[in-house]
Amino acid sequence: MAERILITGITGFVGSHLADYVLSLGPKFQVFGTKRWHLSRMANIRHIADRITLVDCDLTDAVSVRNLIETVKPDRIFHCAAESFVSPSWKNPHRYMAVNYNGTVNLLDALYAQGLTDVPFHIPGSGEEYGDVPAADLPITPATVLRPVNPYAVTKIAQDLIGLVYHQSYGLHVIRTRAFNHEGPRREKVFGIPWYAYQIARIEAGESEPLMKVGHIEDRRNFTHVHDIVKAYWLATEHCKPGELYLVGSEDEASIHTFRDALEMLIEMSPRKGIRYEIDPQYVRPTQVPRLIADTRAFRKATGWEPELSFQNILTDTLEYWRARVHAGTA
- Could you tell me if 144 and 116 lie in one domain? yes
Domain that holds residue 51: 3-182+225-248
Q: How many domains does the chain have?
A: 2
- Could you tell me if 119 and 198 lie in one domain? no
pLDDT at position 83 is: 97
Q: Could you read off the pLDDT of 217-244 as tens digits, one per residue? A: 999 999 999 999 999 999 999 999 999 9
- Could you tell me if 235 and 193 lie in one domain? no
- Could you tell me if 104 and 173 lie in one domain? yes
Q: What average pLDDT values come out for the chain (331 residues) when binned by 10 residues?
A: 97 98 98 94 97 98 98 98 96 98 98 98 98 96 97 98 98 98 97 98 98 97 97 98 98 94 98 97 93 96 98 98 98 95
Q: Are 223 and 250 in contact (CB under 8 A)?
A: yes
pLDDT at position 167 is: 98
189: helix, coil or strand? coil
- Whose CA is closest to 219, among 199, 198, 191? 191
Q: Exposed e or buried b for every residue in 19-35, given b needs 16+ CB within 10 A?
A: bbbbbeeeeebbbbbbb
pTM for the structure as a whole: 0.97
CATH number, domain containing residue 26 = 3.40.50.720
- Whose CA is closest to 46, among 25, 19, 7? 19
CATH number, domain containing residue 269 = 3.90.25.10
- Could you tell me if 121 and 175 lie in one domain? yes
Q: Are 122 and 177 in contact (CB under 8 A)?
A: yes
Preceding amide of 139 cis, omega within 30: yes
- Could you tell me if 269 and 243 lie in one domain? no
- Could you tell me if 73 and 54 lie in one domain? yes
